Structure 1
Amino acid sequence: MPGLMQDKVAIVSGAGQVGGLGHESALILAREGATVVISARSPDGLAESAASIEAAGGKVLAVRTDVADPAQCERLVRSTIAEFGRIDCLVNNAFNASPRGLLAEADLDAWRGVFEVNFWGSARLCQLVLPQMKAQRSGSIVNVLAHIIFKPQRIPPTGMFAYACSKSALYTLTQGLALEVAEYGIRVNAHVPGYMDGPSVRSSFERLEREGKGSWATEEQAVLEMIPQRRIPTTAECAKSVLFFASDELSSVVTGQALLVNGGEALH
């Protein structure tokens, strides 16, 4: 039986960490029949991610890409079209969460690096895939946001001010672009994860423990108390929502929407 993404071609940025959301999104799309084009800055991480997808029976092309570099973004999209002749889905997952800090003490020039990846990189890739999607009169763009934009009370204690602002800008882009391209059969939506049991959260817990700011068990318990389901969703679970948005069969009339995937921690 054909998969939900059979014969489709999907680009997934920020997919260079096995077990991360980008990798898991590419993996589930590949398992549903898509050819996936994955990108990341780290050549080693990208190779490991591609090997994992291939080992699962998926078709994958790895293109090393720093989405903050316009030329590299162009190469990613150009390579996809040259190799496969179409683009059916773009998942903008690449992100930069540093530096942290509050506005009063911030080096605003340092914020530019966050926006270059989270907003400009995503906007640029959206712009680059549009001509091909318009020609096909079909396509799905999935922008990965962050639940902190719906929980601004978390900004001061986490210091994720630049990150939250960049993701809020991407949310506005998602809604505006959805309306701009709807007549071409292109859907644009936002996947909004919260805490995920994956490499990023685990490394965060490890960092806090190393810095003497809390034990792994204490930090994990604090997170669990914020989540009504009392468990941290896995990246593989969260990636299923990316598949929902990517699939024409599942979300053919869904556009301009943000889906929070966080066990009930934040509501919208």
Structure 2
Amino acid sequence: MPPSPLAERFSLAGRGALITGSSRGIGRAIADLFADAGAIVGINARHAEACEEAAAEINAAGGKAVAVAGHVGSAEGCEGVVRAFLEQAGRIDVLVNNAGTNPQFGPLLDADEGAINRIWEVNVLGPVRMTRYAVSAWMRDNGGSVINMASVAGIKPEALTGAYNASKAALISVTRTLSRELGTSRIRVNAIAPGLVETRLAKVLVETPQIHDHIVGQTALGRHADPSEIAGAALFLASDASSFVTGSVLTVDGGWTV
């Protein structure tokens, strides 16, 4: 029986999807869902063992995944990750710039210069560089979808995460700028802005009752999210279901920004 029109719209069959920071958390949830949708997924993290373990689990479940370890906080690292994925998958139709970091909590003006630089390298320059290399190596001639993992922190900033807020606001601007620049090459560029999600990066926010209750208390759904709830938005933006969507920021925050 042929796939239904609905299934075809959300299918990623035969496509190559590289997801940075995907050995765990939101990135891993996206990788699992993309593999279920038929994509060859690239599992990326700094440590090769974590990538290989996640890829093996996806392959054992019937999906297709390859490990592409590398640090996206440097130009050389980004170029190497893109090259390694293309060598194994043969194509890169979807790029999810999910890797992020936040080594500094507190107001922006109190942030350590080194911490600000690390945040900027990974959260802003990482997506710019990854997109540059993916476009140059494949998407310029073949089209594709780029998805940047922003945050509601870039839309409605909290004082606790000043430097992180600024980096995510910058990433939203990067998303809109690139959507303008790459549209004629049939490359769509969008962002997802999650609210509070239970991940390692947000561990302090989730596990500190005062902070967690403050955020959840302002969220319409009255709870934080699971990584799998962000993955569905990524599948929409990666697939043909969003073929006329570019330059958009999709908030998945349970109503926190309402």
TM-score (norm 2): 0.90
Deviations 1:194-236 (A, max 9, x none): 1113444446444x4xxxxx5xxx6544433121112222110
Q: Which runs of 5+ in 1 are unaligned?
A: 209-213
Q: Could you say if the C-alpha distance between residues 47 and 84 of structure 1 is closer, same or farther in structure 2, counting changes exceeding 3 Å?
A: closer
Q: Distance in 2 between matches of 1:230 and 1:124?
A: 37
Question: Is 1:13–2:14 an aligned residue pair?
Answer: no
Partner of 2:246, secondary structure, is coil
Query: Which stretches of structure 1, 4 residues or more, deviate above 6 A after TM superposition?
Result: none
Aligned length in residues: 250
Alignment correspondent of 2:67: 62
Distance in 1 between residues matched to 2:115 and 2:37, nearest whole Å: 40
CA contact (8 A) 1:31 1:56 kept: no
Q: Which of 68, 79, 87 matches 1:82?
A: 87
Partner deviation per Cα, 1:44-83 (whole Å, 9 max, x = no partner): 4323322332232110011111001222211111122222
Task: Confirm or deny: 8 A CA contact 2:154 2:172 kept in the other structure.
Answer: no
Give the gaps of 5 or more residues in structure 2. none
Structure 2 residue aligned with 1:171: 172
Q: Distance in 2 between matches of 1:26 and 1:80?
A: 14
Matching residue's letter, 2:247: G
Q: TM-score, normalised by structure 1?
A: 0.87
- Measured in 2, the distance between the counterparts of 1:27 and 1:200 equals 19
Larger displacement relative to structure 2 (74-83 or 175-184): 74-83
Which residue number in structure 1 is paired with residue 215 of structure 2?
Answer: 223
Give the 3 Å change call, closer, same or farther, for CA 54–203 of structure 1 in structure 2: farther
| Pairwise CA distance, 1:28 | 0.5
> What pairs up with 1:1-268 in 2 under 5 angstroms?
1=3, 4-17=11-24, 20-131=25-136, 132-136=138-142, 138-152=143-157, 154=158, 156=159, 158=160, 160-202=161-203, 204-206=205-207, 208=208, 214=209, 220-248=212-240, 250-267=241-258
CA distance 1:102–1:200, change in 2 (3 Å): closer
| Deviation readout 1:20-42 (Å, 9 max, x if unpaired) | 10000111111000000111013
Identity %: 35
Matched residue type, 1:165: A
Return the offset for 1:13. Answer: 0.1
RMSD: 1.8
Residues 86-145 of structure 1: CA deviation (Å, up to 9, x unaligned): 110000000011122223323324311110000111110010011211111x10000000
Query: Which letter does structure 1 place at the counterpart of 2:173?
Result: T
- Three-state SS of the structure 2 residue aligned to 1:187 is strand
Q: How far is 1:169 from its partner?
A: 1.2
1:211 equivalent in structure 2 = none
